[in-house]
Amino acid sequence: MPTPRNLDSWQQVDSRADFSSYLRFLAFDCERAQGGEGSGAPAALDWTHRSIDGFLWGWVRLLGSRADGTDLLHEEAPGRPGWRGLAHQLDRVRTTPPGYNCVLADSGTRHEEVDTPRDLSMYAATLAMDFARDRREMQERAERGAWAGDGGTWAHGTLHDWLASWASWVGADSPRHAQLSPVTWRSVALQLSVARIYE
């Protein structure tokens, strides 16, 4: 993965292109933190999470903390976290301990049903459980000696690859990208839905 353009702070994010660049930075930094190809230099940021599902469970906890009266999400307007607010969420999620909640995961929330931070929390929990299930099924196939094919229903198995995939899709252009601005809780859920399968 090439070194991303120098956008290493959520405070610098003002647009979709900036958010894509920030995601690329996070992917690159996460790979260094996990000792991957870019590990010649230490990671710039602290990383609590080593897996996609751990990251998603951290997001569940962060979104759940919204009820304590603090505005962690920097919404541009009610129901609209904005690109900078979304980047700030990801910055906080990096070090937020997982908030496992199987009740939320059992909601079966779909991305097109997300309208609020609570809905996004339920969707993130659903994705976290789905990722863990997908990895278990792949491992079981491998242990049985069964051909695993090209992988499970998730296109990527590592956090840094998933973040890079998310960055690539957000930075691309298609008719579907018109749904991304202004940033709403539903458009964030759409991004997560596509990042799961985008290569």
Q: Are 121 and 72 in contact (CB under 8 A)?
A: no
Listing DSSP states for 34-52 in one string gives TT-TTTTS--SS-----SH
Q: What percent of the chain has pLDDT over 90?
A: 42
Q: Which among 137, 180, 131 is positioned nearest to 157, based on CA atoms?
A: 131
For the chain, give the percent of residues with pLDDT over 70. Answer: 82
By C-alpha distance, which of 23, 118, 6 is closest to 62? Answer: 118
For residue 183, pLDDT beyond 60: yes
Tell me: the pLDDT tens digits for 110-150? 899 999 888 999 999 999 999 998 888 877 877 777 665 55
Return d(Cα 183, Cα 199) in angstroms, integer: 23
Least confident range from 3-7, 8-12, 31-35, 70-74: namely 70-74
| 3 state DSSP class of 56 | helix
Minimal CA–CA distance to 93: which of 184, 194, 176, 192?
192
Domain ranges of the chain: 10-197
Categorize the per-residue pLDDT at 109 as very low, low, confident or very high, splitting at 50, 70 and 90: confident
DSSP H helical ranges for the chain: 16-33, 52-64, 82-93, 102-105, 117-143, 159-171, 185-197
